[in-house]
């Protein structure tokens, strides 16, 4: 519902209310206001009359009167979806978070799968300091659209800030240079793809920024807390510039031009990983665990090591991977076949399953798998980081078609071998994390660059 015209969407058999809607929709505010008063004198909780009274008050520049009417409208038992949606729109501009929260809760009772309403409820609850309620709202949004980065990032930042406070300063090896000739930002970092994508986006920004003496400015994202990457926040807006795969690959070349300087980039920062190879030292240094994340992931990894000698880690991407050119889930059978060929040759092997599917480990019961739950460590808002760290330290690693585990493989300096699922061969194949497509296309006719995937972990 959006403005006068949308009021005609409100169905009501009462003739007086129908006449009121017609008056207001035609722009006759004076007669509509008189009609509202007549209706409310008979029924003080009539939601449409209250909503239109609020609309008229907003038009007159009387926010206090508008709020008073809207507070009653959103509590009316007969308020329908259209009334509540319009009330939400009005309340967002009236600075009445309590009434807005009430309106959103009422709307969600009528429409539980309303993704934007859950996200907005999370933001409102967060702004009011109601952390559990905000987390619950973000959780609900993530359940409705599992691959969407917005609520996932909001939930993570809220919980990390609540548990750890402000981000720590960057250690010297992660700090930016002081002699700079320009700026570079990506204001969508944290919103355009989840953890795996964010790592590629950030590393591209920092590497390119250092190549051309640019100050990299980024918004809040989980790397500020997990990796102690305390970079400057975005300053004055810069012109937006979309990027593509060839541009990212060329920009990583030592002879690249500073054409991205003084721009706000939009894209995934991904290309064939051979273009990152000459920068692998910087890539790895930037993505080392931060001071507060290091202790729990180190303890978790040591507990895993205490169970055996050879850690074999498998990442299974499920969740939002329901099929598509890049978002295809590799069958567990491919991984099991690989494990059956190597298992007896390994010294005291331990199988670790990293997955967004709680039931994935059960498919590997023959190998007595271990998951993060057994490691007795948690990172508030970033449970996935334990999985990521184990993948980056495993002795043998089998990734999924996901930048989450491909990035972990790029950080892994000790693994004896890496495997990935190939949709054409329909099995796991060996690969070099520093000489590979970030993701493989399920189509044999498509170039397997993988950057179109909305990677969310």
β-bridge mates for residue 398, sequence order: 314, 419
Q: How far apart are CA 79 and CA 11, in angstroms?
A: 11
pLDDT digits 0-9 by tens, 3-55: 444 444 444 448 889 999 999 999 999 999 999 999 999 999 999 999 999 99
> Residue 10's pLDDT is what?
42
pLDDT given at position 444: 61
Residue carrying structure tokens 């993948």: 391
Query: What b/e sequence results for 173-193 when a residue is b if at least 16 CB atoms lie within 10 Å of its CB, and e otherwise?
Result: ebebeeeeeebbbbbbbbbbb
Residue 226, helix vs strand vs coil = helix
Angle at 128 between CA 158 and CA 189, to 5 degrees: 35
- Least reliable range by pLDDT among 181-185, 205-209, 315-319: 315-319
The structure's pTM equals 0.89
pLDDT for res 99: 97
What are the strands of the beta sheet with 182-185, ordered from one edge? 214-217, 182-185, 264-266, 240-242
Q: How far is CA 368 from the centre of its chain?
A: 32
Encode pLDDT of 146-183 as tens digits.
889 999 999 999 999 999 999 999 999 999 988 889 99
Local structure of residue 422 (DSSP, 8 states): E
Percent of the residues in the chain that have a pLDDT greater than 90, as a whole number? 88
Q: Which residues pair with 396 in a beta bridge?
A: 312, 417
State how far the Cα of 54 lies from the Cα of 73, in Å rounded to an integer: 9
- Average pLDDT for residues 302-310, to the nearest whole number? 95
Which alpha helices (DSSP H) does 128-268 contain, by range?
131-144, 149-164, 195-211, 223-226, 245-251
pLDDT at 1 (0 to 100): 35
- Domains of the chain and CATH, by start: 4-164 (1.25.40.10), 172-286 (no CATH), 291-430 (3.40.50.11350)
Could you give the CA distance from residue 16 to residue 46 in angstroms, rounded to a whole number?
A: 11
Query: In angstroms, what is the C-alpha Rg of the chain?
Result: 26
Asked whether the beta carbons of 282 and 237 are under 8 A apart, the reply is no
CA distance 396 to 153: 30
Residues present in the chain in total = 457
Q: What percent of the chain has pLDDT over 70?
A: 94
pLDDT on residue 445: 57
- The SS3 assignment for 184 reads strand
Q: Is 228 helix (H, G, I), strand (E, B) or coil?
A: coil
**DSSP, res 185:** E
Q: Can you state the angle between helices 81-92 and 115-127, rounded to 10 degrees?
A: 40
Confidence of residue 319 (pLDDT cuts 50, 70, 90): confident
Whether the CA torsion 352, 287, 334, 326 is positive or negative: it is: positive
Q: How far apart are CA 233 and CA 219, in angstroms?
A: 5
Decide if pLDDT at 225 tops 90: yes
> If residue 397 lies in a helix (H) or strand (E), which one and from where to where?
strand 396-398
Work out the number of other CB atoms within 10 angstroms of the CB of residue 410.
26
């Amino acid at each position: 519902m959006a403005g006068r015209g949308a009021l005609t969407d409100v169905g009501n058999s009462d003739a007086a209310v129908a006449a009121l809607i017609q008056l207001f929709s035609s722009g006759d505010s004076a007669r509509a206001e008189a009609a509202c008063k007549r209706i409310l004198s008979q029924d003080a909780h009539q939601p449409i009359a209250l909503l239109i009274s609020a609309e008229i008050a907003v038009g007159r520049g009387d926010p206090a009167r508008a709020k008073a009417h809207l507070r009653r409208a959103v509590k009316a038992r007969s308020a329908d979806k259209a009334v509540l949606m319009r009330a939400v729109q009005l309340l967002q501009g009236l600075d009445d978070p309590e009434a807005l929260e009430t309106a959103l809760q009422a709307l969600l009772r009528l429409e539980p799968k309303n993704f934007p309403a859950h996200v907005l409820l999370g933001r409102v609850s967060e702004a009011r300091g109601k952390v559990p309620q905000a987390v619950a709202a973000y959780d609900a949004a993530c359940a409705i659209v599992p691959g969407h980065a917005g609520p996932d990032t909001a939930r993570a930042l809220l919980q990390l800030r609540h548990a750890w406070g402000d981000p720590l300063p960057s250690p010297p090896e992660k700090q930016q240079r002081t002699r700079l000739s320009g700026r570079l930002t990506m204001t969508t970092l944290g919103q355009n793809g989840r953890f795996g994508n964010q790592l590629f986006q950030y590393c591209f920004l920092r590497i390119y920024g250092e190549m051309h003496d640019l100050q990299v400015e980024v918004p809040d994202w989980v790397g500020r807390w997990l990796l102690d990457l305390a970079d400057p926040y975005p300053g004055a807006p810069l012109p937006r510039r979309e990027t593509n795969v060839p541009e990212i690959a060329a920009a990583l070349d030592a002879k690249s031009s500073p054409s991205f300087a003084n721009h706000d980039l939009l894209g995934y920062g991904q290309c064939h990983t051979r273009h990152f190879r000459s920068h692998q030292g910087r890539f790895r240094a930037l993505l080392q665990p931060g001071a507060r994340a290091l202790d729990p992931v180190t303890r978790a990894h040591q507990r895993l090591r205490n169970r055996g000698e050879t850690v074999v880690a498998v990442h299974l991407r499920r969740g939002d991977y329901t099929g598509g050119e890049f978002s295809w889930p590799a069958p567990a059978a491919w991984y099991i076949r690989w494990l059956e060929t190597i298992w007896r040759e390994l010294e005291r092997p331990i199988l670790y399953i990293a997955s967004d599917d709680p039931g994935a480990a059960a498919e590997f019961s023959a190998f007595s798998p271990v998951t993060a739950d057994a490691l007795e460590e948690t990172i508030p808002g970033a449970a996935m980081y334990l999985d990521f760290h184990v993948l980056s330290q495993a002795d043998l690693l089998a990734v999924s078609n996901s930048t989450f585990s491909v990035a972990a493989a790029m950080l892994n300096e000790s693994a004896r071998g890496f495997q990935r699922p190939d949709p054409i061969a329909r099995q796991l194949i060996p690969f070099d994390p520093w000489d590979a497509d970030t993701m493989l296309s399920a189509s044999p006719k498509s170039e397997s660059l993988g950057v179109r995937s909305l990677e969310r972990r």
